[in-house]
Structure 1
Amino acid sequence: MSPLVIELDPLRAAGPVLLGASFEEAGRMLAAWGTPRPYAPYPGAEPLDWRLMGSGVDVHVFCGSAGVVQTIVIYRDFDVEPRARVFLLGMDVFSTPAEQVITELRARYEVEVEQGDCDLVVPGLSVGMSRSTVPCPDDDQETIDRYTCFESVLIAGPGYYDPPPPLRRNGAS
Protein backbone atom coordinates (compact mmCIF):
# COMPACT_ATOMS: atom_id res chain seq x y z
CA MET A 1 0.00 0.00 0.00
CA SER A 2 1.49 3.35 -1.00
CA PRO A 3 1.69 5.98 1.73
CA LEU A 4 -0.75 8.84 1.95
CA VAL A 5 0.87 12.11 0.88
CA ILE A 6 -0.19 15.23 2.77
CA GLU A 7 0.87 18.53 1.26
CA LEU A 8 0.81 21.46 3.67
CA ASP A 9 -0.29 24.71 2.06
CA PRO A 10 0.69 27.32 4.68
CA LEU A 11 -2.00 29.85 5.58
CA ARG A 12 -4.56 27.76 3.67
CA ALA A 13 -4.76 23.99 4.25
CA ALA A 14 -3.29 20.63 5.16
CA GLY A 15 -4.23 18.42 2.23
CA PRO A 16 -8.00 18.68 1.76
CA VAL A 17 -8.60 20.19 5.23
CA LEU A 18 -9.07 23.94 4.77
CA LEU A 19 -8.45 26.56 7.42
CA GLY A 20 -11.72 28.41 7.98
CA ALA A 21 -13.89 25.42 7.01
CA SER A 22 -16.89 24.74 9.22
CA PHE A 23 -16.76 21.98 11.85
CA GLU A 24 -18.98 19.76 9.66
CA GLU A 25 -16.96 20.42 6.50
CA ALA A 26 -13.72 19.69 8.37
CA GLY A 27 -15.02 16.27 9.41
CA ARG A 28 -15.90 15.43 5.80
CA MET A 29 -12.53 16.68 4.54
CA LEU A 30 -10.58 14.78 7.21
CA ALA A 31 -12.42 11.57 6.24
CA ALA A 32 -10.19 11.48 3.13
CA TRP A 33 -7.44 10.21 5.48
CA GLY A 34 -9.42 7.82 7.67
CA THR A 35 -12.24 7.86 10.19
CA PRO A 36 -12.16 11.08 12.20
CA ARG A 37 -13.79 11.29 15.62
CA PRO A 38 -15.38 14.40 17.12
CA TYR A 39 -13.30 15.57 20.08
CA ALA A 40 -14.52 17.35 23.21
CA PRO A 41 -12.08 19.23 25.44
CA TYR A 42 -13.40 17.48 28.57
CA PRO A 43 -15.99 14.81 29.46
CA GLY A 44 -19.55 16.00 28.97
CA ALA A 45 -18.55 18.92 26.75
CA GLU A 46 -19.85 19.38 23.23
CA PRO A 47 -17.32 18.23 20.61
CA LEU A 48 -15.58 21.25 19.13
CA ASP A 49 -12.65 19.62 17.31
CA TRP A 50 -11.78 16.55 15.24
CA ARG A 51 -9.19 13.85 15.90
CA LEU A 52 -7.84 11.19 13.59
CA MET A 53 -5.59 8.62 15.23
CA GLY A 54 -3.96 5.28 14.54
CA SER A 55 -2.77 5.84 10.99
CA GLY A 56 0.89 6.45 11.81
CA VAL A 57 0.20 10.16 11.46
CA ASP A 58 -2.30 11.57 13.91
CA VAL A 59 -4.28 14.75 13.26
CA HIS A 60 -6.05 17.21 15.53
CA VAL A 61 -8.23 19.80 13.79
CA PHE A 62 -9.05 22.65 16.20
CA CYS A 63 -12.31 24.43 15.55
CA GLY A 64 -13.14 25.55 19.07
CA SER A 65 -16.15 27.65 19.91
CA ALA A 66 -15.74 29.60 16.66
CA GLY A 67 -17.02 26.50 14.81
CA VAL A 68 -14.44 26.84 12.03
CA VAL A 69 -10.99 25.31 11.53
CA GLN A 70 -8.45 27.52 13.29
CA THR A 71 -5.42 25.22 13.35
CA ILE A 72 -4.43 21.80 12.06
CA VAL A 73 -1.80 19.83 13.94
CA ILE A 74 -0.29 16.66 12.50
CA TYR A 75 1.75 14.35 14.74
CA ARG A 76 4.11 11.56 13.77
CA ASP A 77 3.53 8.39 15.79
CA PHE A 78 6.98 6.85 16.13
CA ASP A 79 5.58 3.62 17.56
CA VAL A 80 4.07 2.52 14.23
CA GLU A 81 5.30 2.57 10.66
CA PRO A 82 3.87 5.78 9.19
CA ARG A 83 1.41 5.39 6.37
CA ALA A 84 1.61 9.06 5.46
CA ARG A 85 4.26 11.52 4.40
CA VAL A 86 3.78 15.18 5.28
CA PHE A 87 5.39 17.78 3.02
CA LEU A 88 6.04 21.46 3.66
CA LEU A 89 7.59 23.36 0.74
CA GLY A 90 8.88 20.09 -0.70
CA MET A 91 10.41 18.80 2.55
CA ASP A 92 9.08 15.70 4.29
CA VAL A 93 8.85 17.22 7.77
CA PHE A 94 8.85 13.86 9.57
CA SER A 95 11.84 12.31 7.78
CA THR A 96 14.07 15.28 6.89
CA PRO A 97 16.53 16.03 9.73
CA ALA A 98 15.36 19.02 11.76
CA GLU A 99 18.64 20.89 11.21
CA GLN A 100 18.12 20.65 7.44
CA VAL A 101 14.50 21.85 7.72
CA ILE A 102 15.65 24.81 9.83
CA THR A 103 18.45 25.70 7.38
CA GLU A 104 16.14 25.54 4.34
CA LEU A 105 13.40 27.58 6.00
CA ARG A 106 15.89 30.20 7.26
CA ALA A 107 17.11 30.68 3.69
CA ARG A 108 13.63 31.92 2.72
CA TYR A 109 11.82 33.12 5.86
CA GLU A 110 12.23 34.61 9.29
CA VAL A 111 12.45 31.61 11.62
CA GLU A 112 12.29 31.51 15.41
CA VAL A 113 13.94 28.50 17.05
CA GLU A 114 13.69 27.67 20.75
CA GLN A 115 14.42 24.86 23.17
CA GLY A 116 17.75 23.90 21.58
CA ASP A 117 16.30 23.51 18.07
CA CYS A 118 13.34 21.48 19.33
CA ASP A 119 10.67 24.11 18.60
CA LEU A 120 10.46 26.12 15.40
CA VAL A 121 8.06 28.87 14.32
CA VAL A 122 7.80 30.51 10.92
CA PRO A 123 5.58 33.51 11.76
CA GLY A 124 5.09 34.61 8.13
CA LEU A 125 3.67 31.20 7.24
CA SER A 126 1.88 30.61 10.59
CA VAL A 127 3.69 27.27 10.82
CA GLY A 128 5.11 25.70 13.96
CA MET A 129 7.05 22.45 14.41
CA SER A 130 8.37 20.62 17.43
CA ARG A 131 10.27 17.55 18.49
CA SER A 132 11.25 16.03 21.78
CA THR A 133 14.44 17.04 23.50
CA VAL A 134 17.44 15.67 21.68
CA PRO A 135 18.87 12.72 23.61
CA CYS A 136 22.34 12.46 25.04
CA PRO A 137 25.17 11.66 22.63
CA ASP A 138 25.76 8.48 24.67
CA ASP A 139 22.34 7.05 23.71
CA ASP A 140 22.13 4.25 21.17
CA GLN A 141 21.76 5.19 17.50
CA GLU A 142 18.09 4.13 17.33
CA THR A 143 17.23 6.53 20.17
CA ILE A 144 19.23 9.35 18.58
CA ASP A 145 17.58 8.78 15.17
CA ARG A 146 14.13 8.96 16.75
CA TYR A 147 14.75 12.57 17.82
CA THR A 148 16.49 13.80 14.68
CA CYS A 149 13.29 14.87 12.88
CA PHE A 150 10.32 16.98 13.87
CA GLU A 151 7.41 15.09 15.45
CA SER A 152 4.59 17.58 14.94
CA VAL A 153 3.66 20.41 12.63
CA LEU A 154 0.95 23.04 13.09
CA ILE A 155 -0.52 25.26 10.42
CA ALA A 156 -2.81 28.21 11.05
CA GLY A 157 -4.17 31.30 9.39
CA PRO A 158 -2.34 34.61 8.99
CA GLY A 159 -1.19 36.25 12.20
CA TYR A 160 -1.40 33.16 14.41
CA TYR A 161 2.08 33.78 15.85
CA ASP A 162 1.79 37.58 15.97
CA PRO A 163 2.33 39.05 19.43
CA PRO A 164 -0.80 40.32 21.15
CA PRO A 165 -1.46 44.05 20.82
CA PRO A 166 -0.29 46.15 23.77
CA LEU A 167 -2.85 46.78 26.46
CA ARG A 168 -4.30 50.27 26.51
CA ARG A 169 -4.59 51.99 29.83
CA ASN A 170 -7.55 54.15 30.77
CA GLY A 171 -6.95 57.69 29.64
CA ALA A 172 -4.10 56.67 27.37
CA SER A 173 -4.29 57.89 23.82
Structure 2
Amino acid sequence: MDFDLAPPTGVGPLRIGMTRHAAGMALDSLRDPSAVSESDGPGQHVFRPSGLMISIHCVRDTLEAIELGRPSTQTDRVLFQDVDVFALPAREVVRRVGGLASIDEDPDDTASFTAPDLLLSFWRPFAADDEPEEEQGYYFSSVLVAQPGYYDTPA
Protein backbone atom coordinates (compact mmCIF):
# COMPACT_ATOMS: atom_id res chain seq x y z
CA MET A 1 0.00 0.00 0.00
CA ASP A 2 1.24 3.50 -0.78
CA PHE A 3 1.04 6.22 1.86
CA ASP A 4 1.27 9.66 0.29
CA LEU A 5 2.51 12.42 2.56
CA ALA A 6 0.36 15.50 1.90
CA PRO A 7 1.58 18.25 4.23
CA PRO A 8 0.00 20.14 5.88
CA THR A 9 -3.14 18.06 5.27
CA GLY A 10 -1.98 14.65 6.51
CA VAL A 11 -1.51 11.07 5.32
CA GLY A 12 -4.33 8.98 3.90
CA PRO A 13 -7.40 9.23 6.15
CA LEU A 14 -5.39 10.97 8.91
CA ARG A 15 -5.98 14.72 8.69
CA ILE A 16 -4.09 17.29 10.72
CA GLY A 17 -6.59 19.16 12.92
CA MET A 18 -9.12 16.33 13.27
CA THR A 19 -10.33 15.36 16.73
CA ARG A 20 -8.49 12.72 18.74
CA HIS A 21 -11.50 10.39 18.40
CA ALA A 22 -11.68 10.82 14.61
CA ALA A 23 -7.90 10.36 14.36
CA GLY A 24 -8.13 7.14 16.37
CA MET A 25 -10.83 5.83 14.04
CA ALA A 26 -8.79 6.79 10.97
CA LEU A 27 -5.71 5.14 12.47
CA ASP A 28 -7.72 1.96 13.09
CA SER A 29 -8.71 1.91 9.42
CA LEU A 30 -5.01 1.58 8.52
CA ARG A 31 -4.59 -1.59 10.59
CA ASP A 32 -4.54 -4.85 8.64
CA PRO A 33 -7.31 -6.88 10.32
CA SER A 34 -5.74 -10.13 9.12
CA ALA A 35 -2.45 -9.37 10.90
CA VAL A 36 -3.06 -7.26 14.01
CA SER A 37 0.20 -6.59 15.84
CA GLU A 38 0.52 -7.10 19.59
CA SER A 39 2.53 -3.86 19.55
CA ASP A 40 -0.47 -1.79 18.42
CA GLY A 41 -1.55 0.93 20.82
CA PRO A 42 -5.22 1.77 20.19
CA GLY A 43 -5.59 5.48 19.46
CA GLN A 44 -1.79 5.90 19.44
CA HIS A 45 -0.07 3.75 16.83
CA VAL A 46 -0.41 0.71 14.59
CA PHE A 47 2.14 -1.61 13.05
CA ARG A 48 1.31 -2.99 9.63
CA PRO A 49 2.52 -6.45 8.48
CA SER A 50 5.32 -4.71 6.52
CA GLY A 51 6.67 -3.33 9.80
CA LEU A 52 5.47 0.19 8.92
CA MET A 53 4.59 2.05 12.12
CA ILE A 54 1.98 4.81 11.97
CA SER A 55 1.68 6.98 15.06
CA ILE A 56 -0.54 9.94 15.87
CA HIS A 57 0.30 12.82 18.20
CA CYS A 58 -2.66 14.72 19.65
CA VAL A 59 -2.68 17.76 21.93
CA ARG A 60 -5.84 19.30 23.38
CA ASP A 61 -8.00 16.72 21.54
CA THR A 62 -6.53 17.71 18.15
CA LEU A 63 -4.27 15.76 15.80
CA GLU A 64 -1.06 17.80 15.51
CA ALA A 65 1.37 15.36 13.91
CA ILE A 66 1.59 11.99 12.19
CA GLU A 67 4.77 9.93 12.31
CA LEU A 68 5.59 6.97 10.09
CA GLY A 69 8.40 4.53 10.85
CA ARG A 70 10.39 2.70 8.19
CA PRO A 71 8.88 -0.65 7.15
CA SER A 72 11.03 -3.77 6.97
CA THR A 73 9.53 -4.78 3.59
CA GLN A 74 8.46 -2.81 0.52
CA THR A 75 4.80 -3.91 0.62
CA ASP A 76 4.07 -0.48 2.14
CA ARG A 77 5.70 2.63 0.69
CA VAL A 78 5.76 6.17 2.09
CA LEU A 79 5.95 8.76 -0.67
CA PHE A 80 6.31 12.52 -0.88
CA GLN A 81 5.96 13.87 -4.43
CA ASP A 82 7.04 10.44 -5.79
CA VAL A 83 10.08 10.36 -3.48
CA ASP A 84 10.08 7.05 -1.58
CA VAL A 85 11.35 8.37 1.76
CA PHE A 86 12.29 4.98 3.21
CA ALA A 87 13.54 3.06 0.12
CA LEU A 88 15.97 5.73 -1.08
CA PRO A 89 19.20 6.58 0.74
CA ALA A 90 18.73 9.50 3.15
CA ARG A 91 21.17 11.65 1.17
CA GLU A 92 19.07 11.13 -1.98
CA VAL A 93 15.82 11.95 -0.14
CA VAL A 94 17.38 15.22 1.08
CA ARG A 95 18.56 16.05 -2.45
CA ARG A 96 15.15 15.39 -4.02
CA VAL A 97 13.08 17.09 -1.32
CA GLY A 98 15.59 19.97 -1.42
CA GLY A 99 14.69 20.41 -5.09
CA LEU A 100 11.10 21.10 -4.03
CA ALA A 101 11.62 23.22 -0.91
CA SER A 102 14.28 24.23 1.56
CA ILE A 103 15.45 21.43 3.84
CA ASP A 104 17.67 22.07 6.85
CA GLU A 105 20.00 19.84 8.80
CA ASP A 106 18.99 19.76 12.46
CA PRO A 107 21.71 21.72 14.32
CA ASP A 108 21.36 19.42 17.34
CA ASP A 109 21.19 16.17 15.35
CA THR A 110 23.10 16.29 12.07
CA ALA A 111 21.60 12.98 10.90
CA SER A 112 18.10 14.53 10.84
CA PHE A 113 16.50 17.12 8.58
CA THR A 114 13.48 19.41 8.60
CA ALA A 115 11.67 20.94 5.65
CA PRO A 116 9.90 23.71 7.61
CA ASP A 117 7.90 25.08 4.66
CA LEU A 118 6.57 21.58 3.99
CA LEU A 119 6.01 20.77 7.68
CA LEU A 120 8.01 17.55 7.26
CA SER A 121 10.90 16.19 9.28
CA PHE A 122 13.11 13.19 8.59
CA TRP A 123 14.96 11.28 11.32
CA ARG A 124 17.57 8.55 11.61
CA PRO A 125 19.64 7.64 14.67
CA PHE A 126 22.98 8.46 13.02
CA ALA A 127 24.45 9.24 9.59
CA ALA A 128 26.17 6.53 7.57
CA ASP A 129 25.79 7.99 4.08
CA ASP A 130 28.71 6.03 2.64
CA GLU A 131 27.80 2.70 4.26
CA PRO A 132 24.72 1.12 2.60
CA GLU A 133 25.06 -2.02 4.72
CA GLU A 134 24.44 0.17 7.81
CA GLU A 135 20.70 0.55 7.12
CA GLN A 136 19.85 2.55 10.27
CA GLY A 137 22.20 5.34 9.23
CA TYR A 138 21.93 5.03 5.46
CA TYR A 139 18.13 5.38 5.27
CA PHE A 140 15.71 7.53 7.23
CA SER A 141 13.99 5.70 10.09
CA SER A 142 10.96 7.98 10.42
CA VAL A 143 9.17 10.90 8.84
CA LEU A 144 6.81 13.30 10.59
CA VAL A 145 4.03 15.42 9.05
CA ALA A 146 2.96 18.28 11.31
CA GLN A 147 0.51 21.13 11.61
CA PRO A 148 1.57 24.71 10.84
CA GLY A 149 3.49 26.16 13.79
CA TYR A 150 4.67 22.75 15.01
CA TYR A 151 8.33 23.61 14.43
CA ASP A 152 8.11 27.17 15.77
CA THR A 153 10.15 27.73 18.88
CA PRO A 154 9.00 30.06 21.64
CA ALA A 155 10.62 33.49 21.59
For residues 99 and 136 of structure 1, the distance between their equivalents in structure 2, rounded to whole angstroms, comes to 7
Deviations 1:4-50 (A, max 9, x none): 11011011111111111111111221122206633xxxxxxxxxx51
Identity of counterpart residues, as a percentage?
25
- Distance in 2, matches of 1:145 and 1:76, equals 11
Distance 1:136 1:98, change over 3 A: closer
| Structure 1: 5+ residue stretches without partners | 39-48, 167-173
Would you say the 8 A contact 1:11–1:126 is kept in 2? yes
Letter in structure 2 aligned against 1:102: V
The residue number in structure 1 matching 2:62 is: 68
Q: How does 1:1-173 map to 2 (within 5 A)?
A: 4-34=1-31, 37-38=41-42, 49-55=43-49, 56-64=51-59, 66-77=60-71, 80-114=72-106, 115-116=109-110, 118-135=111-128, 142=133, 144-164=134-154, 166=155
TM-fit CA distance, 1:82: 4.8
Aligned to 1:171: none
Distance, in Å, in 2 between the alignment partners of 1:69 and 1:112 is 25
For the residues of structure 2 that align with 1:111 and 1:89, how far apart are their CA atoms? 15
Superposed CA RMSD? 2.2
Q: Residue 148 and residue 23 in structure 1: after superposition, are their counterparts in 2 closer, same or farther (change >3 A)?
A: same
* TM-superposition CA deviations, 1:129-171 (whole Å, max 9, x none): 111213496x7x53x244321110001111211232x3xxxxx
TM-score, with normalisation over the residues of structure 2? 0.82
Shift of residue 83 of structure 1?
3.4
